[in-house]
């Protein structure tokens, strides 16, 4: 181990390697509920070459390597379950290129979502990307790695669908270029017209390589944004409401939330609809189209638009949305975790009722959020529970509630998003065996010595 440390220091410099108790403690856990496990080292690479050298060293020595962005998935995906080296990627945070005309950017593998937003705001105010509501520190590479979703997901699908190219350090230390950038200087497409090899990496949770560069689609940024909330007191109306709204093709993003506190929110389902436009007329037209699409619910008294106060409006319009984080402090406890299956929108009523039932059964404070993916093709439904980090019993109850939530989701046809190790196992068991074998084959070929984020996506 001393030898590995010395060699890590040779690669990244002594300042950026640690095997001290403090880093081993901190990088051995995340803010969620998964059991901690200390790494042997934490290393902070600054260049692709350094990542390569580290991975080559790990490959030779059979030492695990766990790439980490901000560690904010909450499901323990960066906890080094088998020790080894945690690669904190956040020193690699340069925005390398913005192609204004072709609307894409190339960023390094540790670039925070917040930093790209700030950069575009300052230098390319007519461009935007699909910003998730995770804290600004979370990284773009990790977000596409886990098939994240952001503000443009209702229009364009998962954030991973918006990738235009990747540079990946393979578990052997080779560097692969994925997409048009493999043969062209231009990063316009991750796949077409070539075979789309990005699937060898996206969704693999860092078990097939380390992303060192991401090409990402940028989209027109309209001058204005607005938000409206449509409320209904029955979850049963939600699928139809979403169908009608998405049919208009007029919205930026659609989220749904339901929560018992404060009392004004209780028993209601809030469909939060975001609009954008370059002129008042455009914005008005889009809003009118959506209002009109919801006429029948209003007429039947099944729902209506609520007045959104300026404070709430501002908080909803924030990008990224800081208030999404503060759910962690509802019990003055500093923690929340959610099981967030990707599931059909028509399952909203069942999911919602299940969440109510679990909250009651385990006596927990909850929050339901759903983000519509594409034109109602699916949604991410988050069964979120907040917990007090100083209350072991409450944490156990949340663990139990989440386990039940994910069992339910799987039985309802959902597929776990950013799955815990336990959920990964269940997915693999439930999966079509040929698909499972295919995954196994890919993993074995790409990572023959099993050093990349081991413990994850391990085929039973």
Ligand X SMILES: Cc1cc2nc3c(=O)[nH]c(=O)nc-3n(C[C@H](O)[C@H](O)[C@H](O)COP(=O)(O)OP(=O)(O)OC[C@H]3O[C@@H](n4cnc5c(N)ncnc54)[C@H](O)[C@@H]3O)c2cc1C
CA atoms of 72 and 414, how far apart (whole Å): 22
Q: Is 339 in the site for ligand X (CB under 6 A)?
A: no
- Told to check if 449 binds ligand X by CB under 6 A, we report no
Q: Does 215 bind ligand X (CB under 6 A)?
A: no
Rounded to a whole number of angstroms, the minimum distance from the CB of residue 322 to other proteins is 5
Partner whose binding site includes residue 292, from other proteins, ligand X, none (CB under 5 to 8 Å by kind): none
Q: Contact between 138 and ligand X (CB under 6 A)?
A: yes
Residue 332: name its binding partner from ligand X, other proteins, none (Cβ under 5 to 8 Å by kind): other proteins
Burial of 444 (0-12, 13-18, 19+ CB in 10 A): exposed
What is the smallest separation between the CB atom of 165 and ligand X, expressed in angstroms? 14
Q: Judged by CB under 6 A, does residue 421 bind ligand X? A: no
Close Cβ partners of 388 (under 8 Å, ≥ 6 residues apart): 331, 332, 333, 334, 335, 394, 395
**Please, what is the minimum distance in Å from the beta carbon of residue 319 to other proteins?**
10
Q: Does residue 268 belong to the site contacting ligand X (CB under 6 A)?
A: no
Q: What CA–CA distance (Å, rounded) separates 29 from 25?
A: 7
Q: Which is nearer to other proteins, 38 or 246 (CB)?
A: 38
Choice from 111, 149, 154, 384 touching ligand X (CB under 6 A): 149
φ, ψ at 304 (rounded to 5°):
-170, 165
Min dist CB 301 to ligand X, Å, is 32
- For residues 408 and 354, is the Cβ–Cβ distance under 8 A? yes
Q: Does 141 sit near ligand X (CB under 6 A)?
A: yes
C-alpha 345, offset from chain centre: 19
Decide if residue 85 touches ligand X (CB under 6 A).
Answer: no
Q: Greatest CA separation found in the chain? A: 74
DSSP string covering 181-223, please? GGTSS----SSTTS--GGGGTTTSTTSS-EEEEEEEE-EE--S
By a kind-dependent CB cut-off of 5 to 8 A, residue 145 interacts, out of ligand X, other proteins, none, with ligand X
Residue (of 191, 254, 246, 249) closest to 228 by Cα position: 254
Cα–Cα distance, 255 to 269 (Å, whole number): 10
When binding is defined by CB under 6 A, the residue of 24, 211, 283, 373 that contacts ligand X is 211
Q: Are 298 and 231 in contact (CB under 8 A)?
A: no
Work out whether 394 is an interface residue with ligand X (CB under 6 A).
no
Q: Does 254 bind ligand X (CB under 6 A)?
A: no
Tell me if residue 140 falls in helix, strand or coil: helix
Q: Which is nearer to ligand X, 314 or 323 (CB)?
A: 323
Select from 146-154, 237-245, 283-291, 358-366 the region that touches ligand X (CB under 6 A): 146-154
**What is the rounded CA–CA span in Å between residue 306 and residue 313?**
12
The partner in contact with residue 22, picked from ligand X, other proteins, none with C-beta cut-offs of 5 to 8 angstroms by kind, is other proteins
CA-closest candidate to residue 214, choices 249, 230, 184, 190: 190
Q: Candidates 33, 34, 57, 77: give the one binding ligand X (CB under 6 A).
A: 77
Residues that bind other proteins (CB under 8 A): 15-16, 18, 20-23, 25-27, 30-31, 42, 44, 70-72, 88, 90-91, 112, 114-115, 117-119, 121-122, 135-137, 322-323, 325-326, 328-329, 332-335, 388-390
User: How far apart (Å, rounded) are the C-alpha atoms in residues 98 and 371?
Assistant: 28
**Three-class SS state of 412:** coil
Per-residue contact string for residues 310-329; x = within reach of ligand X by CB under 6 A: --------------xx----
- Judged by CB under 6 A, how many residues of this single chain contact ligand X? 33
State how far the alpha carbon of 283 is from the alpha carbons of 225, 227, 372, 391, in Å.
Answer: 8, 11, 21, 47
Distance between CA atoms of residues 227 and 212, nearest Å: 36
- Which one, 206 or 215, has the nearer CB to ligand X? 206
Closest to other proteins by CB, 138 vs 232, is 138
- Tell me how far, at minimum, the Cβ of 237 lies from ligand X, in Å: 24
Question: Considering the rule CB under 6 A, would residue 142 count as an interface residue with ligand X?
Answer: yes
Q: Can residue 453 be called a binding residue for ligand X (CB under 6 A)?
A: yes
Binding site for ligand X (CB under 6 A): 66-74, 77-78, 89, 109, 132-134, 138-139, 141-143, 145-146, 148-150, 205-206, 210-211, 324-325, 453
């Amino acid at each position: 181990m001393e030898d590995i440390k010395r060699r890590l220091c040779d690669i990244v410099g002594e300042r950026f390697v640690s095997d001290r108790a403090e880093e081993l403690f901190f990088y051995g856990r995340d803010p969620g509920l998964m059991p901690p496990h200390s790494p042997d080292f934490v290393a902070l690479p600054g260049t692709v070459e350094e990542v390569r050298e580290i991975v080559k060293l790990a490959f030779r020595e059979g030492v695990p390597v766990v790439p980490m962005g901000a560690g904010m998935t909450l499901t323990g995906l960066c906890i080094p379950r088998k020790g080894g080296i945690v690669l904190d990627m956040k020193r690699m945070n340069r925005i390398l290129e913005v192609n204004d005309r072709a609307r894409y950017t190339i960023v390094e593998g540790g670039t925070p979502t917040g930093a790209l937003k700030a950069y575009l705001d300052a230098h390319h105010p007519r461009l935007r990307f699909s910003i998730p509501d995770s804290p600004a520190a979370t990284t773009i590479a990790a977000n596409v790695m886990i098939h994240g979703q952001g503000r443009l997901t209702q229009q364009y699908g998962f954030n991973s669908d918006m990738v235009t190219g990747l540079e990946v350090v393979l578990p052997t230390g080779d560097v692969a270029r994925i997409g048009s950038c493999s043969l062209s200087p231009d990063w316009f497409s991750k796949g077409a017209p070539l075979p789309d090899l990005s699937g060898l990496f996206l969704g693999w949770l860092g078990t097939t390589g380390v992303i060192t560069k991401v090409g990402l689609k940028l989209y027109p940024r309209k001058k204005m944004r607005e938000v409206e909330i449509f409320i209904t007191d029955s979850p049963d109306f939600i699928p139809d409401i979403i169908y009608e709204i998405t049919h208009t093709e007029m919205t930026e993003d659609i989220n749904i939330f339901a929560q018992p506190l404060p009392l004004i929110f209780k028993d209601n389902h809030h469909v939060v609809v975001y609009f954008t436009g370059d002129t008042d007329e455009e914005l008005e037209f889009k809003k009118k189209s959506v209002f009109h699409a919801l006429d029948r619910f209003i007429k039947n008294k099944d729902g209506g638009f609520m007045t959104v106060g300026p404070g709430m409006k501002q908080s909803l319009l924030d990008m990224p949305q800081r208030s999404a984080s503060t759910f962690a402090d509802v019990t003055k406890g500093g923690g929340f975790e959610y099981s967030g299956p990707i599931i059909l929108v028509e399952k909203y009523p069942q999911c919602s009722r299940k969440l109510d039932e679990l909250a009651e059964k385990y006596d927990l404070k909850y929050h339901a959020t759903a983000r519509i993916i594409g034109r109602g093709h699916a949604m991410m439904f988050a069964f979120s529970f907040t917990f007090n980090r100083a209350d072991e019993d409450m944490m156990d109850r949340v663990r139990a509630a989440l386990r039940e939530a994910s069992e339910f989701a799987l039985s309802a046809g959902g597929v776990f998003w950013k799955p815990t190790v336990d959920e990964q196992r269940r997915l693999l068991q439930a999966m079509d065996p040929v698909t499972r074998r295919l995954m196994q084959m890919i993993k074995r070929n790409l990572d023959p010595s099993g050093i990349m984020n081991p413990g994850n996506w391990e085929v039973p």
